[in-house]
Amino acid sequence: MAMAISIESVSIKAQTPKIIPGTFAKQKVAPNSARASVVGLQQYYSVTGHYTLSADGIGSTSSSMSIRVNKPNAHAIVQKAILISSVTGASLTNSCVTIAGVPVNLDGSASGTFFTNYWADVTSIVAPQINNFPAGISTLNITECNIPNRYGGEAIDGEALLVVFNNATATENTIVIMLGAENLSGNNFSVTLAKPINPNQPRASLDMGLGIGYSFQGFDQFSEVSVNGERLTSSAGGQDDGEV
């Protein structure tokens, strides 16, 4: 299928949340001050070749949950795996989150007004299991420690797992993963490509996905997304910790 899409700039604006009244404590200092906190999306990883991407997110009020991995075929192997944790009103420390039974050490973070996103390269943790998975959807277990936030609730809003597969049967693709945090008033970011995409070529396509961690539509926490000045959605995001 050919898709006539050209991304020059993407604008994301987050709705200012309505905070539930309560007693607020001072926000904790983020662990490992050597990690820089930035606002906006920055390229974290990119690869070109016979690769495919599996992406899934999960949030739960339970401390244990399952996140999905979609393996394109039995022979595909893990090239890169990244775990992202979204935290509101608190700080995340090493080993607080586990995946496949192994404590996760954090590699980076980016802070917004009320929240911080953390990420870690978990390739060495999950690749041995995923490489033995059959084709299709399988799951990995994730656990979260109980961290109260300064608003009186749970601090960890959810997790996302990105898995890049080296897949010999795939067509040649470029996969770009950008990580960061957005201002509530909105940010613009652009994606620069080595070669322009010709939408008239057979099977030409450009797919964009957003992982929105700080969202709770029941309390007006959602994001507006525009591409090249055209509104895609005025209510992106889901419910905090999967609550309805």
How would DSSP label each residue in 94-110? TTSEEETTEEPPP-EEE
- Percent above pLDDT 70 for the chain: 78
Q: Is the pLDDT of residue 78 over 60?
A: yes
| Residue 64 resides in a domain | yes
In a domain, 1, yes or no: no
Q: Is residue 2 part of a domain?
A: no
Residue 36 lies in a domain: yes
User: Tell me, what's the pLDDT at 22?
Assistant: 30
The pLDDT value recorded for residue 131 is 98
Quick one: pLDDT band at residue 218, thresholds 50, 70, 90?
low
pLDDT tens, 87-97? 988 899 999 99
Report, as an integer, the average pLDDT of 99-106: 97
DSSP letter string, 36-88: PP-SEEEEEEEEEESEEEEEEEE--SSSEEEEEEEESSTT-EEEEEEEEEEEE
Longest dimension (CA), the chain: 58
Share of the chain above pLDDT 90, in %: 41
Question: Looking at residue 19, what is its pLDDT?
Answer: 35
Q: DSSP for 114-166?
A: SEEEEEEE-HHHHHHHHTTSPSEEEEEEEEE---B-TTSSBSEEEEEEEEEEE
Q: Report the predicted TM-score, pTM, of the whole model to 2 decimal places.
A: 0.80
Residue 24 confidence (pLDDT) above 50: no
Domain holding 25, by residue range, is 10-242
Neighbours of 221 (CB within 10 A): 25
Q: What is the mean pLDDT of residues 215-223?
A: 72
Domain-embedded: residue 88: yes
Summarize pLDDT for 192-216 with one digit per residue, the tens: 776 777 878 887 788 888 888 777 7
Closest C-alpha to 48, from 149, 194, 192, 182: 194
Phi, psi of 123 (to 5 degrees): -55, -50
For residue 128, being part of any structural domain is answered with yes
Q: Which of the four pLDDT bands, split at 50, 70 and 90, describes residue 7? A: very low
Q: What is the pLDDT of residue 39?
A: 58
Instruction: Supply 224's token pair.
Output: 């507006």
Q: Across the chain, what does the average pLDDT equal?
A: 79
Q: Say if 59 falls within a structural domain.
A: yes
Q: How many domains does the chain fold into?
A: 1
The rounded distance, in Å, linking the Cα atoms of 136 and 165 is 13
